[in-house]
Structure 1
Amino acid sequence: MKLNIKKSTTLNGEVTIEGILAVTLQANISDESAGNTYINQSIIDQDLYSQNRKLCREKISEFQEKVYEIEDRFIEEGVKTAE
């Protein structure tokens, strides 16, 4: 008999401009499938996004980098099992 322990993390992000929500971001990262992470991006305010797309894209890239950091940590740690 063995116990398999799986770890996952959910990240939520928001890109706001002058207090107005422009984009929401969500990522689900699992140690089982690190590197095959689910990331969802929703543009909430199309006009605000269009007017500030470079800034929004920078923030989306920052979010993606954080996802990569967690994926890498999960890969380095490996799947933990106990028997």
Structure 2
Amino acid sequence: MALETRKQITLSGNSAIDGQVVVSLTATIPDDTGVGNVSQYVQNTELYEKNKTAVRKDVREFQDMVYAIEDEIAAEEEAVE
């Protein structure tokens, strides 16, 4: 039996309005594939409905962070080849 390990990057974030979390975001990016899995959970639907523009801006910013990490992993892989 041999130890097997896997490296991955996990990001988490919250979009908040007036100190209240509206949407929770999580992303997991495994090093072996470099392709992230993003999930979001709306915790406060009332604030979400009233602040969609601001919350969606936060969600896009979070997704852009995931894309940037995916691109970094891909660039590292290309440099190794």
Task: Sort the TM-score into its range (normalised by shorter chain).
Answer: 0.7 to 0.9
TM-score between both structures, scaled by the size of structure 2: 0.84
Structure possessing the higher relative contact order (Cα contacts under 8 Å, 6 or more residues apart): 1
Percent pairwise identity: 33
Gaps of 5+ in 2: none
**Other-structure match for 1:64:** 63
Q: Does the residue aligned with 2:33 lie in a helix, a strand or coil?
A: coil
Q: Does 2:36 match 1:7?
A: no
- Which segments of structure 1 move beyond 2 Å, counting only runs of 4 or more? 4-7
Gaps of 5+ in 1: none
Instruction: Answer 1 or 2: which has greater strand percent.
Output: 1
Distance between the aligned counterparts of 2:5 and 2:23, measured in 1? 33
